[in-house]
Chain A
Amino acid sequence: MNDNSDDVLVRIRDLHFSRGNRKIFNGVDLDIRRGKVTAIMGPSGTGKTTLLKLIGGQLKPDQGSIQVDGLEVPKLKLSKLYELRKRIGMLFQSGALLTDINVFDNVAFPIREHTNMPPSMIRDMVLMKLESVGLRNARDMMPSELSGGMARRVALARAMALDPMMILYDEPFTGQDPISMGVIVQLIRLLNDALGLTSIVVSHDVQETATIADDIYVLSEGKVVGHGTPQQLAETDSDWVKQFMQGLPDGPVPFHYLGMQYVDDLLAGTDPERGV
Chain B
Amino acid sequence: MIGSIRKLGRWGLGAFERLGRAHIFLYYILMGVPPVLLRFSLLVQQMLSVGVLSLLIIVVSGFFVGMVLGLQGYNTLVDFGAEQSLGVVVALSLVRELGPVVAGLLFAGRAGSALTAEIGLMKSTEQLSGMEMMAVDPIKRVIAPRFLAGFISLPILATIFTAVGIVGGYFVGVGLLGVDDGAFWSQMQAKVDFGEDIMNGVIKSIVFGFVVTWIAVFEGYDCVPTSEGVSRATTRTVVHSSLAILGLDFVLTALMFT
Binding site for B on A (CB under 8 A): 53, 56, 58, 82-83, 85-86, 88-90, 92-94, 96-99, 109-110, 113-114, 158, 162, 168
Chain A residue with minimal CB distance to B45?
Answer: A100
Residues of chain B with a CB closer than 8 A to A88's CB: 133
Question: Which residues of B from 133 to 147 have beta carbons under 8 Å from A?
Answer: 133-137, 141
Bound-state Cα–Cα, A113 to B140, Å: 12
With a cutoff of 8 Å between Cβ atoms, the chain A residues found around residue B133 in the complex are: 56, 58, 85, 88-90, 92, 168
- Check if A86 sits within 8 Å of B135, measured CB to CB: yes
Q: What is the chain B residue whose CB lies nearest that of A109? A: B134
User: How many Å lie between the Cα of A162 and that of B134 in the bound state?
Assistant: 9
B132 and A98 form a contact (CB under 8 A): no
With A85-B133, A96-B130, A97-B127 given, can you name 8 additional A-B contacts, CB distance below 8 Å? A56-B133, A90-B130, A92-B133, A94-B126, A96-B129, A109-B134, A114-B135, A168-B133
Whole-angstrom distance between the alpha carbons of A92 and B141 in the complex? Answer: 20
The verdict on B72 contacting chain A, using a C-beta distance below 8 Å, is no
Q: Judging by beta carbons under 8 Å apart, are B129 and A92 in contact?
A: yes
Q: Which 10 A-B pairs have the closest CB atoms?
A: A96-B130, A96-B126, A85-B135, A82-B135, A90-B133, A110-B134, A86-B135, A92-B126, A113-B136, A94-B126
Is B75's beta carbon under 8 Å from chain A?
no
* Interface pair B134/A113, CB less than 8 Å apart: yes
Q: From B125, B127, B136, B137, give the contact of A110 (CB < 8 A).
A: B136
Instruction: Kindly provide the distance from the CB of A73 to the nearest chain B CB, expressed in whole angstroms.
Output: 13
Measured CB to CB, the nearest residue on chain A to B125 is A94
Closest to B134 in A: A110
Query: B132 to A96, Cβ gap below 8 A?
Result: no
Inter-chain CA distance A82–B125, complex, in Å, is 21
Is A96's CB under 8 angstroms from B137's CB? no
**Bound CA–CA A6/B15 (angstroms):** 49
Once the chains are docked, how many angstroms separate the CA of A158 from the CA of B122? 17
| Residues B127 and A99 in contact, CB atoms below 8 Å apart | yes
Identify the closest chain A residue to B118 (Cβ): A100
**Minimum Cβ distance to chain B for residue A238 (Å):** 33
- What are the residues of chain B within 8 A of A94 when measuring CB–CB? 125-126
Complex Cα distance A248/B150, Å? 56
Taken together as a complex, chains A and B put the C-alpha atoms of A228 and B136 apart, in Å, by 36
A84 CB, min distance to chain B CBs, angstroms: 8
Interface string of B91-129 (1 = CB under 8 A from A): 000000000000000000000000000000010011101
Task: Kindly provide the distance from the CB of B208 to the nearest chain A CB, expressed in whole angstroms.
Answer: 27
Complex: chain A residue closest to B142, CB-CB: A98
Verify B134–A85 contact, CB threshold 8 A: yes
Residues of B within 8 A of A86 (CB): 134-135
Which chain A residues border B130 with CB–CB below 8 Å?
A: 90, 92, 96-98
State whether B125 touches A96 (Cβ < 8 A): yes
| Cross-chain pairs A/B with CB under 8 angstroms, 6 sampled | A85-B133, A85-B135, A86-B135, A96-B129, A96-B130, A99-B122
Q: How far is the CA of A94 from the CA of B133 in the complex (A)?
A: 14
Residues from chain A with a CB closer than 8 A to the CB of B122 are 99
Q: Determine which residue in B125, B127, B130 has the highest number of CB atoms from chain A within 10 A of its CB, and name it.
A: B130
Write out, one digit per residue, whether chain B residues 135-178 have a CB within 8 A of any chain A CB (1) or not (0). Answer: 11100010000000000000000000000000000000000000
B158: min CB distance to chain A, Å: 28
Residue of B nearest to A112 (CB): B136
Q: Measured between alpha carbons, how far is A89 from B130 in the docked complex, in Å?
A: 10
Please give me the residue from chain B that is nearest to A86 by CB atom.
B135
Which one of B132, B136, B141 lies within 8 Å of A58 (CB-CB)?
B132
> A82 → chain B, closest Cβ, in Å?
4
- CB neighbours (8 Å) of A99 from chain B are 122, 125, 127
CA gap between A158 and B133 in the complex, in Å: 11
Residue of B nearest to A155 (CB): B130
Most buried by B among A56, A96, A158: A96
Q: With A and B bound together, what is the CA distance between A94 and B125 in angstroms?
A: 7
Chain A residues with Cβ under 8 A from B141's Cβ? Answer: 113
Chain B residue contacts of A90, Cβ below 8 A: 130, 133-134
- Taken together as a complex, chains A and B put the C-alpha atoms of A85 and B37 apart, in Å, by 25
Cα–Cα distance between A93 and B127 once the two chains are bound (Å)? 11
Cβ A82 vs Cβ B137 within 8 A? yes
- Which residue of chain A lies nearest to B128 when distances are taken between CB atoms in the complex? A96
> A58 to chain B: which residues have CB within 8 Å?
129, 132-133
Residues of chain B within 8 A (CB-CB) of A85 are 132-135
Of all chain A residues, which has the CB nearest B130?
A96
